[in-house]
C-alpha cells in the first residue's frame, strides 16, 4: 500500500499525511477547504480533483471527517467513494462517529466488495507513532492494512466487529470530557479563591500527586499561558463526541450521570462562542455561570 488516499486534511489528516510521506508513501489528498489543500501541498501530497480521482489512484483511503453526516456522504453519496470503487479498495475511517454509522457504512461497502474498517485515534497529534488504534471490522481486512497502520500507532488492536472501534473511542472521549471539565472547574475555582491558575498548575506539576495526568499537563499548560488558539481539540468537537457517547450509552439503557454534567458545561461553553477554541478555555465558562453572564 504505497499509494494512500486521504480525505480530510485537517489537523489529524495532515499529521498522518506527513508521517506517511516521511515513510515514502505517495499521498493523494482531497479536501474542499482551501487552507487544508494548501497545507497538503506544502507537505508534498498530490492533490486530487475529486473523491473519484482519489479512488482511481489508490487502493486504500483514509478518512478524517467531522462527523456521521460527512462520513455517510463521503462513502455513499452521489460522487462518493463507492460510486467508483472496485473490490480492490479498502476504506479506513479514522473519524469519530456513532457505531451505527460505522456498521452501516461497512455493510454497504461489503456489498460492493470493498473493505471497511473504523479506526478512530486514541492519542494527540503530537504523539503520532505512539497512538493506539482500536479497530472495528473484519480481521482479514485489518491484516492487509496492518503494516500501514503500524506506521501511525504503537498499538493496533482489533476490538471487534464494525462499529466497535468507535464504541471504544466514544468511551474514551467521555473520560476525556470528564477530565477536561474537572480541570476547567478547579482552575476557575482557583482564580476565585485567590490562587492564580498558573500557580495552581505549577504547584501540582511539581508534586507527585496522582492528579498529574498527561491531559492535565497539557490543559494546565495552556490555561497558565492563556493559549487557546491553534487548538489541539476544539470545544465544538468535544460537544459532538460527548453527545454521541451519551446517545450510545442511552441506547444500551445505561444513561451516564457524570457524562450529562460534562455535556452541560460543554454546551454552555459552546453557547458562549468558545466552540472553535481549545477545550482548555472552558474554565472561563464557569466564571460566566457564577457571575450570571
262-286 pLDDT, tens digit per residue, is 999 999 999 999 999 999 999 999 9
Which domains, and CATH codes, for the chain?
3-161 (3.40.50.720), 167-290 (1.10.1040.10)
Task: Order across the sheet with 153-160: list the strands.
Answer: 46-47, 26-30, 3-7, 60-63, 90-93, 115-118, 131-136, 153-160
Question: Span 215-224, mean pLDDT?
Answer: 95
Three-point CA angle 136, 157, 259, nearest 5°? 70
Per-residue confidence (pLDDT) for residue 84, from 0 to 100: 87
Three-point CA angle 182, 185, 188, nearest 5°? 150
Rounded to whole angstroms, how far apart are CA atoms 60 and 232? 27
94, three cell numbers: 479514522
Q: Is 59 helix (H, G, I), strand (E, B) or coil?
A: coil
pLDDT, tens only, 62-78: 999 999 999 999 999 99
Q: How confident is the model at residue 208 (pLDDT cuts 50, 70, 90)?
A: confident
pLDDT, tens only, 22-41: 999 999 999 999 999 999 99
pLDDT, tens only, 148-203: 999 999 999 999 999 999 999 999 999 999 999 999 999 999 999 999 999 999 99
Q: Of 93-107, 185-199, 205-219, where does mean pLDDT reach its minimum?
A: 205-219
pLDDT, tens only, 121-144: 999 999 999 999 999 999 999 999
pLDDT exceeds cutoff 90 at 86: no
Partners of 26 in the β-ladder: 3
Alpha-helical regions (H) of 23-89: 34-43, 51-57, 68-76
Cβ contact 195:230 at 8 Å: no
Question: What percent of the chain is modeled with pLDDT above 70?
Answer: 100
216, three cell numbers: 492535565
Per-residue confidence (pLDDT) for residue 192, from 0 to 100: 94
| H helix or E strand, kind and range, residue 177 | helix 164-192
Average pLDDT of the residues of the chain: 95
Rounded to whole angstroms, how far apart are CA atoms 170 and 8? 20
| H helix or E strand, kind and range, residue 27 | strand 26-30
Alpha carbon 193 to chain centroid, angstroms: 35
75, three cell numbers: 462513502
Partners of 63 in the β-ladder: 7, 93
Q: Of 85-94, 180-189, 239-248, where does mean pLDDT reach its minimum?
A: 85-94
pLDDT, tens only, 41-57: 999 999 999 999 999 99
Per-residue confidence (pLDDT) for residue 254, from 0 to 100: 96
CA dihedral 87, 89, 94, 100 (to 10 degrees): -10
Q: How confident is the model at residue 293 (pLDDT cuts 50, 70, 90)?
A: low
Amino acid at each position: 500500500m504505497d499509494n494512500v488516499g486521504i480525505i480530510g486534511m485537517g489537523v489529524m489528516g495532515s499529521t498522518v499525511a506527513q508521517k506517511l510521506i516521511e515513510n515514502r508513501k505517495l499521498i493523494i489528498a482531497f479536501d474542499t477547504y482551501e487552507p487544508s489543500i494548501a497545507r497538503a501541498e506544502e507537505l508534498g501530497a498530490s492533490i486530487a480533483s475529486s473523491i473519484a480521482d482519489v479512488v482511481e489512484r489508490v487502493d486504500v483511503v483514509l478518512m478524517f471527517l467531522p462527523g456521521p453526516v460527512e462520513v455517510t456522504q463521503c462513502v455513499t453519496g452521489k460522487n462518493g467513494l463507492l460510486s467508483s470503487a472496485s473490490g480492490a479498495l479498502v476504506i479506513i475511517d479514522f473519524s469519530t462517529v456513532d457505531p451505527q454509522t460505522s456498521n452501516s457504512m461497512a455493510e454497504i461497502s461489503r456489498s460492493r466488495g470493498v473493505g471497511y474498517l473504523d479506526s478512530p485515534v486514541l492519542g494527540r497529534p503530537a504523539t503520532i507513532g505512539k497512538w493506539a488504534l482500536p479497530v472495528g471490522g473484519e480481521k482479514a481486512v485489518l491484516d492487509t492494512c496492518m503494516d500501514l497502520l503500524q506506521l501511525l500507532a504503537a498499538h493496533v488492536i482489533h476490538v471487534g466487529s464494525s462499529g466497535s472501534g468507535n464504541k471504544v473511542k466514544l468511551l474514551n472521549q467521555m473520560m476525556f470530557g470528564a477530565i477536561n471539565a474537572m480541570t476547567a472547574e478547579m482552575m476557575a475555582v482557583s482564580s476565585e479563591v485567590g490562587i492564580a491558575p498558573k500557580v495552581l498548575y505549577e504547584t501540582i506539576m511539581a508534586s507527585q500527586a496522582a492528579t498529574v495526568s498527561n491531559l492535565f499537563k497539557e490543559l494546565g499548560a495552556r490555561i497558565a499561558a492563556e493559549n487557546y488558539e491553534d487548538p489541539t481539540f476544539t470545544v465544538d468537537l468535544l460537544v459532538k463526541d460527548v453527545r454521541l457517547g451519551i446517545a450510545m450509552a442511552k441506547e444500551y439503557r445505561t444513561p451516564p450521570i457524570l457524562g450529562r454534567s460534562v455535556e452541560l458545561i460543554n454546551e454552555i461553553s459552546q453557547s458562549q462562542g468558545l466552540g472553535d477554541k481549545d477545550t482548555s478555555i472552558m474554565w472561563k465558562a464557569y466564571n460566566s455561570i457564577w457571575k450570571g453572564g
